[in-house]
Structures are given as structure tokens and as C-alpha cells.
Amino acid sequence: MRNTMKSLKEIKTEMKTLNKILIAFSLVFAMSCETESLLTEESISNQTAGAYFSTASGFEDLSKSIYPLLRPIAQLRALTLNGTDIFSRSGGFRNVNTELNVNFDTYGPEFTEGISEVQDFWVYHYKAINRANTLLSRAESIENVGSYAATRDVRIAEAKFIRAYCLFSLVQQFGDIPMPLVETTSANKEVIRVPSAEVYAQIITDLTEAEGVLPASASDYGRATLGAAQHLLARVYLTRGWNFGNSLGGTAADFEQARVYADKVIAAHPMVADYKDLFPKKNEDVTNQTHGPADQNYRNSETILSVQYSNNPLTNVGENAYAIGDQVAGDSGNNSHSIFGGSHDESPGSPGRTSDYNRQLGAHSTVPGVWRLFDPETDTRYHLNFVEKVYAVVDNPGFVPADGVAPIDIQSGDVVVEYRDWNNPATTLEERGKDVGGNMNYAVINHDQIGKIEESNYHNPNHHPMMWKFWEPGIDYGNGFGQADHPLMRSSEAYLIAAEAIIKGASAGSIGSASDYYNAVVNRAIIGGQLGDADMANDPNDLSSLATKSYRASGNVTIEMIMDERAREFMGEGLRWYDLKRTGTLISRSKAFNPWIGALNYIKEHHYLRPIPLAEIDLATNEVTQNPGY
């Protein structure tokens, strides 16, 4: 064996020789290379914004940045939903006339220029405008634009749309406002309020220029399109035509333009056949839930523009760093599933805080008269919007309905609370629950008890049904985490814009008269279409009356009918305060429908405008005039 194997000494000698050869080879290789190519360093992270945005790829990334702020903007609902004839911050209507309500949406002394709701609305919209202005200001600095020129022009049109969208919201809320049209590159504390008429003129200029460039369908779903520009033009012309306070520069010709643009939208974006297909699919019995995130589809011909969400946590994040209030969800994702009240965590058979019913914060409580605008038997929107029965999710054996009542066994899937339809109240004890001496194994709450019901072993006091138009099954429990896209523009609104414009003097359109446009929206929602009944309460705010009237147009359409139908069709979609302001019905309808506003009687004419935020006034180097009444 010694003769066939190398000694350890021999092996070491050979290894030393091999190492010398490798070292020599490495030196020769290094000397043959150019020193500069080995030492050249390219810094990706340290390049300036100006250098990056001057490239086609950088400018394309810049164009994406103008959209994310639509998420928090859509969540700033306190100034668009509450304080109206549909929603109230407080749902404890039993306490009206007996307790003080300090929520600002009663228009009382708490509604000042210092509240976070006003500040956040102002800040987020102006941040979005500055992002749009940044893109517009840098558009001409792209180097070697070449084949990217056509795409660049579309991105410019998108930025003009976003700027117009935000300016339109601001001018409606605050009246005369600052109107920056270039990128902010340095601190400027001078606040110059531009007359509303000039703001409207700029909005229309931006949108008409965008209309000439934007494509019918976007390269990336969710970007602004031709239809979005035309739909917003229809809104803007309609609003300017009403000419709030004779300050908008509106004329009768604006109504004609509103109808013309509404027809363009209708032609390109037909309504879907079933209203329920527009929103998350779910079963009211959550113990028999057959839907989840995987079978939802929010892309359809009717939805023109929506705020995008997804099932990817990395792309579902919202920008909440600028908010000083609590409206913008701390959790990522859509929060519209969790803010419309009606929680039943305390009811028998509830597993507590789980995704079965998920979280139901009472940020926006539906006022009682709103249910009575719908036909509960035929209007599909009623069944989509409101939970009529609450189910036990887990077994609850030995539940005691009330003191002195024998225990009962509640099983998963049993009804524990029923909200009776407004036109079918429980009138006998046999129809009521055992908690009030009745025969039923579940609590029964009549419509006139919504927000007023006494506490029971089945529920807390002052309860009202969940408004779960936007509720999503199968998502994590929390304030956010929603994956559903939130609609900003739907073509059904174009029908009602056309109807309203015709009422105000516009000529008949492609569909026909105001009644034809109006009935198209009603008929889509009614089981049986134009042959089905559509009966609402004759007086929605007389909760004791069961008298009815049809809400289908059979001749002339009135603004009141338009407002009722917009309440039914766009409940919770962020349009209501604007509708009331535009038509001059904010005070009359809010006092009639909203128990708190009617009882406290704080609301006055100056509330048609919001106060300029205190922080904006305090930081300004010039004197800024506050809106009257604040």
C-alpha cells in the first residue's frame, strides 16, 4: 500500500505548487483587465427626482403616484355622508330631545374650523393636486421622449383629470379656494382664495383637454379614461348650472351640456342587468356563506372609475400618515365594510370579534326614514343594503331570553334578531320575541324602534340594522383589509344627471324624457322590471304610517323624486352631501329625515359651505378671510 499511495509530504508539496500557479494566473488576469471597468459604480438610489422623472420609465412611475391618494380621499366620508338625510354619526335616536349630541354633523357649536374632518379633507385633496401638478410641470423635461410621446400625452390628461376631480370636491365644500396649477417646490405660506367661478372654468378646461386625449379603456385598469372625464364633466356642468349663490358662473346652457355628456357616458357604459353584481356578493346567513374574495368581480361596463384594492397586502396599503383624525383606516385595504354600524357582537350565538360578521363601527348610522324610501318586497337594493336577520354563528345552549323566562337552546344558524320590514311590522305579541313576552325564540324589532329599542338579552339598546352594501365575506377581521374596489363613478348616475338636467330646462336626450331616464334606473332595481311594483312610504318620516305611493315616474319627474332615487341608488357612495348642496335641499331634507338635525335645529344657510381649516389660516402669512358663520 505504501508503494501505491502518495505520502502526506508529497501531497502538501503538490498543493503549494498548485496554489502558486493559481495566484500567478489571477495576477495576469487582473493586469489584463481595464481598471476603470472594475471600479465603476452606478448609484441607483442616489439619483435625483429631476434626473429620474426626465426618463420615460421615471415619468411613467410618476404617473402612478397620482392615484394612491384616492384611497384615503374616498375614506374621508364624514363630510360627504353624515349630517345629511341618510346618515348620522349617532344612531341613538331614542336620546333625541333628551340628550346633547356633540358630534359636529349636527351643525352645532362643535362644527368649527379646527375639527380634523375639515383639516384632513383639505390636506389630502391638495396633496393629490400637487402630485398631479408635479407630473404636469415635468412633462416637457423628458429626455429622448421618442415613441413614449403618445403615452406621455395620455398621462398628462390623467393628471388634469385628477386635478379637476380634487378641485371639484374642494370648491363644492369650501367655495372660493386656492388653485395651485404648478408643482410646489418650496415653502409658500401665502393663501390666495380664487373665486369659485374661476375654479369651475379651470375644472372644465382641464376636463375638456383630457377628454380629447384619454382613451376609452386604460392601459392599466383603474387609470382615468375618456368615460371618466365625460362623466365628471356631466357632474360639473349640472352643478354649475344650479349656480350656488350666483357664484359659479353658471347658465341655463350648463344643463344642456350636462345632458349631452350624460348621453355620451350612457352610450359607452351600459348599466349591468343586476344591481347586486356591482357590489360584494354575500349570503345574509353567514353560517351558510357560499361567497368569498375569490368569486368577486368588480370590473363591469357600468363602473367607470373606482378606487382599486387587491388581496396583496403590499399593494393594499393606504396613505394615512397625513391624517390627524380617525377616518382613514389604519389597517390596509378598503374599510367600507366596517363603518356603517349595526354590530351584534353581544347577541346570543355570537363568537365575538371574528370575520363572520366582521367589525361594524358606528361611523355612519342610517336614519329611520331611509328604509321607507324602498319597496322591501321588490327593490333589490333594499335586500343588498340592509341586514334583515341576524344569525347565531355558534351554539348557545341554555340562553335565557328574559328574567323569568325558561331557557332555550340556540344553535348555529338560528335567527337571533329580526328587523321587520317597514311595511310589515309585528303587531301582536305572538309575532314578537320572548324577551318582550312574545312567542318567538328571537328578538323582533319593528322599524319605528330603530335606534330607540330598549336593551334586551338579545341585543344592546338603540340598535339598528347593519347597512352592508359594501360588506365583504371571507376577509380578516378589522377596520380595513377589504379587497373590494370602491366605486367613484357609475353610469346609472348619468341617467339621473340627464333626468335632472331636463327638469332644469335641457332638451330631451337619446333615451327620451326625464321620466324615461329616471325609470331606467328604477326598473333595473325592481324585480319584474317595469312590470313590478315600486312602492315607498307616502311620508318616509311618519314612522307610524303604512300608506304608500309609487316611486316610478308616470309623468313629470320632480327634484324630490330625483333626490329619493339618488338616495336609493348611491347610498354610501360619497355623493349625498354634494347632491343636497347642489339642489339647495340640504337644510329641508336633513331636518326632515335626520332626527338629530331636526330636533337640535342648529343648521343654517352658512352650512352650505365648510370652514377653511384653522391650520391653513394660522400658517398663512397673509390675512385669509374665513367663510361666513365660522
- More confident site: 326 or 398: 398
Residue 431 has pLDDT above 50, yes or no: yes
Candidate ranges 32-36, 297-301, 522-526; pick with highest mean pLDDT? 522-526
* pLDDT tier at 63, thresholds 50, 70, 90: very high
- Give the pLDDT mean for 303-318: 89
- Give the pLDDT mean for 136-161: 97
Beta bridge partners of 443: 417
Q: Kindly report which listed range (76-80, 372-376, 435-439, 554-558) carries the lowest average pLDDT score.
A: 554-558
Predicted pLDDT at 401: 98
* pLDDT tier at 2, thresholds 50, 70, 90: very low
Interacting residues of 189 by C-beta distance below 8 A, sequence separation 6+:
619, 620, 621
- Give the pLDDT mean for 584-593: 98
Residue 485 has pLDDT above 80, yes or no: yes
User: Which grid cell is 420?
Assistant: 321587520
Q: Reduce the secondary structure of 161-214 to three states and give it as a string.
A: HHHHHHHHHHHHHHCCECCCCCCCCCCCCCCCCECHHHHHHHHHHHHHHHHCCC
**CB distance 568 to 381 below 8 Å:** yes
Which among 576, 525, 102 has a CA at the least distance from the CA of 370? 576
Distance of CA 456 to the CA centre of its chain: 34
* pLDDT tier at 31, thresholds 50, 70, 90: very low
Residue 14 has pLDDT above 80, yes or no: no
Residue 16 has pLDDT above 70, yes or no: no
Q: What is the rounded average pLDDT for all residues in the chain?
A: 92
- Give the pLDDT mean for 250-277: 98
Predicted pLDDT at 628: 97
pTM (predicted TM-score): 0.92
Cα–Cα distance, 83 to 596 (Å, whole number): 9
pLDDT more than 70, % of the chain:
93
* pLDDT tier at 449, thresholds 50, 70, 90: very high
Cα–Cα distance, 455 to 435 (Å, whole number): 10
Site of grid cell 377616518? 327
Residue 94 has pLDDT above 70, yes or no: yes
State how far the alpha carbon of 496 is from the alpha carbons of 259, 499, 519, 521, in Å. 10, 5, 9, 8
- Give the pLDDT mean for 154-174: 98
* pLDDT tier at 493, thresholds 50, 70, 90: very high
Predicted pLDDT at 253: 98
**CB distance 82 to 105 below 8 Å:** yes
Cα–Cα distance, 481 to 560 (Å, whole number): 37
- More confident site: 174 or 29: 174
- Give the pLDDT mean for 284-311: 93
Which among 535, 538, 517, 516 has a CA at the least distance from the CA of 526? 535
Which among 156, 441, 476, 431 has a CA at the least distance from the CA of 311? 476
Interacting residues of 24 by C-beta distance below 8 A, sequence separation 6+:
none
- Give the pLDDT mean for 94-121: 93
Cα–Cα distance, 25 to 31 (Å, whole number): 10
Predicted pLDDT at 15: 47
Predicted pLDDT at 317: 81
Residue 243 has pLDDT above 50, yes or no: yes
Residue 11 has pLDDT above 70, yes or no: no
User: Which grid cell is 131?
Assistant: 402630485
Phi, psi of 108 (to 5 degrees): -85, -165
Cα–Cα distance, 68 to 185 (Å, whole number): 21
pLDDT more than 90, % of the chain:
84
Cα–Cα distance, 552 to 546 (Å, whole number): 18
- More confident site: 443 or 41: 443
Predicted pLDDT at 426: 98
Cα–Cα distance, 334 to 317 (Å, whole number): 9
**CB distance 292 to 482 below 8 Å:** no
Predicted pLDDT at 103: 93
Euclidean distance between the first and final Cα of the chain, in Å?
105
Q: Helices then strands (H, E): number in the chain?
A: 18, 11
Residue 499 has pLDDT above 70, yes or no: yes
User: Which grid cell is 67?
Assistant: 392615484
Cα–Cα distance, 136 to 130 (Å, whole number): 10
Predicted pLDDT at 333: 92
